[in-house]
Structure 1
């Protein structure tokens, strides 16, 4: 099994650049401060040489997965466990290995589902473990659509949710996220490619970006929720795990809604289009650090 190892000091620039573009209310990055859960996705950018890219700009040879003879590669979701917080200034080793690779036949033809497992180590100890889910597809015709999942029925924008907020991402933000992560996938910046090769009416918002945006929203609103007695919520909870799935494309400049609901030690967070149809879903598992440390 191929293993890729890279090391990087978690500098403040990627966090500051993301904060200034997508999360202005997040704490300002500083050496020694905790990296928000999910923001590890801003580090270890793509590094495949130009010769190892597919025509669509995604990696054909990444040193981990076997080369797959399908022209399109799309992000379908991610399952992450946060063992302990990363901090700005940490020297982090990323260890990447291939997970399951499964071939299927769908309505659009041949599909290959492939997992990539990423471990983030500090001083040899796991801080974050994440399994990234990709799907490889055949050529899409006009109107063929693109994305890692299948759209489901309407559930209503924020209906029954504890909180909701609007989301609209534009081309400038897509460009910045592509630049920050060195992502050359043409679905995010090449409008002609998107129309002719992907069958979409506009640029596709990055799935990994939506993962961070939805998790940020869940954390932000959870912190603002009242505690059990109606007063301020007691500090001590952190994100223990986040499971995220893309179900349908979100296009740049399109209005959407993020809605969240708390159920015990989990929160569900949904990205919905203007009609209420789900575009992406996530489940946050919360860990109460104070109770964990208090002897019973």
Structure 2
């Protein structure tokens, strides 16, 4: 199964995102480049209400086969940036099913499913992305398991604090037409998902970590942040991102970046140094 959609990449979604999450980003204007990762603000899934699970995620999305499991969560994404998209361009998105793997874990049956998305302009790929989801059974005891990331002030080339509140989660859900109840329904989060607060969107963290990497790569100064001098700037060629543990609204976190040759490792850590998410940027030469 696959979907093909065409959309003019207008500035409105990017202006709204910039005003909520990225005030240091260049102001969107027709003909200028869409920042890498911001393609995720376009082509939202707009399935009918009848095609949603009780948790608000699509049960029938026109791409993946229907899964009997009741919960669907984003776990990461791998993207290749062939060339920059530009505001005002007409882009085509082609979405198809990728690999589907069934496993059994401590919490029961799991299904890992990939969604492959191609963004084309005049038939030529600009961005190729594979979105990774996991389908799960009913939640049991909440899990706070996370990988150790080091100290709360990790060794890195640069660090930035991150704290997101409920207003920002609401805006990102509205921008991307994301109806997953973990991001806005506190009763659902506590009683069904077993979490202590609203969950920050994984796709939002992907954009924020990539934004931070680009900002420091080109040497923009961010007052009050620990950062080393920039290396020779490069364009983003690839970005691989994984979520390791939940970040909740109102919780303090740290984005920490380290350059290794043609790659930058971007970690999102909680106040105890636990690893919440990790991304790897590959820079073009």
Q: 2:239 aligns with which of 234, 238, 242?
A: 242
Q: 1:162 aligns with which of 157, 168, 179?
A: 157
Indicate the residue corresponding to 1:37 in structure 2: 36
TM-score, normalisation: structure 2 = 0.95
Indicate the residue corresponding to 2:224 in structure 1: none
Q: Distance in 2 between matches of 1:71 and 1:167?
A: 31
Indicate the residue corresponding to 2:270 in structure 1: 273
Q: Deviations over 1:264-285 (max 9, x none)?
A: 0000000000100000000000
Q: Deviations over 1:228-276 (max 9, x none)?
A: xx987555x2100000000000000000000000000000000000100
Q: Distance in 2 between matches of 1:154 and 1:27?
A: 31
Structure 2 contact 85–126 (Cα < 8 Å) conserved: yes
Give RMSD over aligned pairs: 1.6
Using a 3 Å threshold, how does the CA distance of structure 1 residues 234 and 154 change in structure 2: closer, same or farther?
closer
Indicate the residue corresponding to 1:294 in structure 2: none
Q: Distance in 1 between matches of 2:43 and 2:272?
A: 36
Q: Distance in 1 between matches of 2:190 and 2:220?
A: 42
Aligned to 1:224, the other structure's residue is in SS state coil
1:98 aligns with 2:90: no
Measured after TM superposition, the shift of residue 115 of structure 1 is: 0.2
Indicate the residue corresponding to 1:132 in structure 2: 131
Indicate the residue corresponding to 2:259 in structure 1: 262
Structure 1 contact 82–128 (Cα < 8 Å) conserved: yes
1:187 aligns with 2:185: no
Stretches of structure 1 that go unaligned for 5 or more consecutive residues are 289-296
TM-score, normalisation: structure 1 = 0.91
Q: Deviations over 1:28-82 (max 9, x none)?
A: 0000000000000000012110000000000000000000000100000000000
Q: Distance in 1 between matches of 2:41 and 2:152?
A: 29
Q: 1:144 aligns with which of 139, 142, 146?
A: 142
Q: Distance in 2 between matches of 1:263 and 1:58?
A: 37
Aligned length: 279
Q: Distance in 1 between matches of 2:229 and 2:129?
A: 35
Q: Distance in 2 between matches of 1:50 and 1:158?
A: 44
Stretches of structure 2 that go unaligned for 5 or more consecutive residues are 222-227
